[in-house]
A and B are shown apart, each in its own frame.
Chain A
Amino acid sequence: MKLIGIAVVALIAGSLLLPAPAPQEKKEVSLTNVSYDPTRELYKEITEKFSRAYQAKTGQAIVVNNSHGGSGAQARSVLGGLKADLVTLALASDIEILEARGFIKAGWQDRFPGNSSPYTSAIVFLVRKGNPKGFKAWSDLARPDASVITPNPKTSGGARWNFMAAWGSVTQNGGTEAQAIDFLRKLFERVPVLDTGARGSTTTFVQKKIGDVLISWENEALLALKEEGGDQVEIVYPDSTILAEPPVAVVDRVVDQRGTRAAAEEFVRFLYTDEAQEVIAKWGYRPRNAEILARHQNALPPFKKLFTIKEVAGSWTEAQKKYFSSGGIFDQIYQPR
């Protein structure tokens, strides 16, 4: 029954999100950008700037509609028929699913610079002001006096990044897989609530004041800091962490059908321009452009040690299968011993 409910909601949401036909000029082009949850503010500003730049360059009016939701749910909407010209999702595996079903051609990740990720982010800790429990390293999160907030990796893409960061903090620093399982089992014993999404966990930590440390995207932590005024929480950069590369792709099947390929590709190229990279830095994501990143190093300081999903697990598709599918490592952690 739930499935049907979800399908109906997705259909209604999908139909609302579809671009309305433009009545005044026939020439106006529209694009639909299907993105994940925390990028709302970022893409709102970028699409405004893009529309202006595009009209100045080509003389053509353009409207970009942004749709946001959980990364996996968004990928499912596209599979279910939501006409997305572009997908800008949290996990490469969500785009790989579209590739496997023929929506996107193979090799999409090499079509644009930096593995098709115009910005990166990383997983950091958000702690109570003054860091009263002195969290510095991943190993601190398994201490008996710690209470850790992170969303459920089964339902949240962000939580999967958190999980792989914790995992990599063991295996990328000389630890074995058995030690990593042991560490994660202890860490998840310290988690009182697994919200279904990243924003839910931020609310639990900041508004409901539950837990000592929130594992979070850097951009989400910076946003929480900004909204709350910086007198209750602060960011801790752990000893090592994972580099998140949220990828973007043009949905070949849709743009070829709608004749919007040129505009969609122009949009992705725009994300790499100085103008867009500045907006990216402003909203707490790390721009690919090293110069612009350096200019913002007060808010975005250099990391001590970074590893990638490729180093930890090979790829997101492999990670998904090994860690988060039924009976995978996450399920084993919650198995009665």
Chain B
Amino acid sequence: MRRRNIPGFKTTMGATLAWLGLLVLIPLARLVTTSSGLSGSEFWKAVWSPQAVAAYELTFGAALLAAVANGAIGLLIAWVLVRYQFPGKNVVNSLIDIPFALPTAVAGLTYGSLYAPKGWIGRFLTPLGIEAVHNRLAVVIVLTFVSLPFVVRALQPVLEDLGTESEEAAHSLGATRWQTFRHVLFPSILPALLTGIALAFARAVGEYGSVVFVSGNIPMKTQIAPVVIMGHLEAFEFDQASAIALALLVASFAINGGINFLSRWSRRHEQ
């Protein structure tokens, strides 16, 4: 092994494992042991009740829509921020991080009061027949807000590294704008784009604070999975709550694994 400046493999790896163990693995193990108080059929009943299934569909469906929407808009924003100079660019750049910093309950409250039928924006939407609170649309919109920064921040460094040379080369060889984007730019940024979408998705699945204020929480319709968990906790059904939490965990893990696989595949494919 070559010599490195950082203290050495044993020390750094030991610290990494201790830290991950304390913060991630032990709590996860506890989650598994809590839900193992249930028998197989009880576990299945808790995890697969109609209310829980409807909640997973909403949670994962809305998170996926939000992540994809951010994939498209985030690419555009990152492009604008990297390629163009304009007054106020720094302000726009820092606005992107607001969803990171803002307590999500604040976002939910603000959104809810703006879009309520008699709120500042809602009063103009209501005559058009659009309802933007207490339904699934509201869930998608707030999730898009909280997961906005991920795609932008994942793409910016890649776009900066990319430079304009390959685009100019493509252009001089007679490629159209679309061909340049499709065959030259897109393959190089695809891995970063997928990573950004995966992060945005993971963030959106875990979101609770802003969603409860705008979703309406109606079972089977607009209730997200974390509210189902809260319902079990209120009834002192700790086992069932852990069971659903475990189901969410496994599903998130699988979906993120899938996206990471896609991202690696596209990276190999490009070379």
Residues of A that sit less than 8 Å from B by CB: 1-4, 6, 70, 72-73, 75-76, 97, 152, 154-157, 191-196, 200, 207-210, 320, 324-327, 331, 334-336
Contact = CB atoms under 8 A, between A and B. Distances in A.
Contacts of B187: none
A326 B50 CA distance: 11
Contact of A3 (B116, B217, B220, B242): B242
B188 interface: no
B229 A191 contact: no
B219 interface: yes
Nearest to A195: B217
B229 to A, nearest CB: 5
B240 A4 contact: no
Contact of A324 (B118, B235, B240, B241): B235
Given A1-B249, A194-B217, A326-B49, A152 B227 contact: yes
Given A193-B134, A196-B227, A207-B113, A152 B49 contact: no
Contact of B116 (A200, A208, A335): A208
A331 B116 contact: no
Contacts of B170: none
Contacts of A73: 233-234
Given A3-B233, A200-B213, A334-B220, 18 more contacts: A1-B249, A2-B206, A3-B242, A72-B233, A75-B236, A152-B227, A154-B234, A155-B227, A156-B234, A192-B218, A194-B216, A195-B217, A196-B227, A196-B230, A208-B113, A326-B45, A327-B49, A335-B220
Nearest to A331: B51
Interface centre among A2, A156, A207, A336 (most CB of B within 10 A): A2
Contacts of B46: 326
A191 B212 CA distance: 16
Q: Which 10 A-B pairs have the closest CB atoms?
A: A154-B231, A334-B219, A72-B234, A193-B216, A208-B116, A4-B27, A194-B217, A193-B134, A209-B118, A155-B230
Interface of B: 27, 30-31, 34, 45-46, 49-51, 112-113, 116-119, 134, 206, 208, 212-213, 216-220, 223, 226-237, 240-242, 245, 248-249
A326 to B, nearest CB: 6
B117 A210 contact: yes
A208 B49 contact: no
A326 B213 CA distance: 24
Contacts of B231: 152, 154-155
A2 B218 contact: no
Contacts of A6: 233
A325 B235 contact: yes
Contacts of B219: 154, 194, 331, 334
A3 B229 contact: yes
Chain B: interface secondary structure? helix
A205 to B, nearest CB: 11
19 contacts: A1-B248, A2-B206, A2-B208, A2-B245, A3-B34, A3-B229, A3-B242, A72-B235, A156-B234, A193-B217, A193-B218, A194-B219, A200-B213, A208-B113, A209-B116, A210-B134, A331-B49, A334-B51, A336-B50
A193 B133 CA distance: 9
A75 B234 CA distance: 9
A97 B116 contact: no
Contact of A326 (B119, B217, B230, B237): B237
Contacts of A152: 217, 227, 231
Given A196-B227, A208-B118, A336-B50, A155 B234 contact: yes
Contact of B119 (A194, A200, A208): A208
Given A3-B245, A208-B119, A325 B112 contact: no
A154 B118 contact: no
A72 B232 CA distance: 11
Contacts of B213: 200
A200 B217 CA distance: 12
Contacts of A334: 51, 218-220
Contacts of B236: 72, 75-76, 97
A154 B230 CA distance: 8
B113 to A, nearest CB: 6
Contacts of B229: 2-3
B2 to A, nearest CB: 39
Interface centre among B218, B236, B242, B245 (most CB of A within 10 A): B236
A244 B232 CA distance: 23
Nearest to A320: B235
B233 A192 contact: no
A275 B208 CA distance: 43
Contacts of B34: 3
B234 A70 contact: yes
A2 B234 contact: no
Contacts of B119: 208
A127 B258 CA distance: 51
Contacts of A207: 113
A71 to B, nearest CB: 9
Contacts of B242: 3
